Amino acid sequence: MRALKAALGEYGWKAQVRAMKDEAKRWRSKSTIQRQAELEAEALDVPYDEVLRSLEEESRQSSEESAHRIQEETAF
């Protein structure tokens, strides 16, 4: 912490702390799928919206398949 204060100065340090708190708040406000999409988009260097759309579609398909399996199991 001392090194950061020395490097950034008092104002710079306070601005950095505020930015980190804001980023943590933004991250916590996202859904699990949104967080995963953000991480994957950054790691793969692809647009966030494309990854999010793909993950949401996978999630929707998975939910539909689970519902279908439950219906089949209760039918027999």
Tens digit of each residue's pLDDT (9 = 90 or more) over 33-56: 999 999 999 999 999 999 999 999
Mean pLDDT (whole number) for 2-30: 91
Q: Say if CB 51 and CB 37 are below 8 A apart.
A: yes
pLDDT band for position 73 (50/70/90)? low
- For 39, the token pair is 């991480």
Residue 15's contacts (CB-CB under 8 Å, 6 or more residues apart) are 8
Number of domains within the chain: 1
- pTM of the model as a whole: 0.68
Spatial separation of the C-alpha atoms in residues 63 and 60, rounded to whole Å: 5
Q: Residue 29 gets which letter from DSSP?
A: T
Boundaries of domain holding 22: 2-75
Q: What is the pLDDT of residues 19-29, one digit of tens each?
A: 999 999 999 99
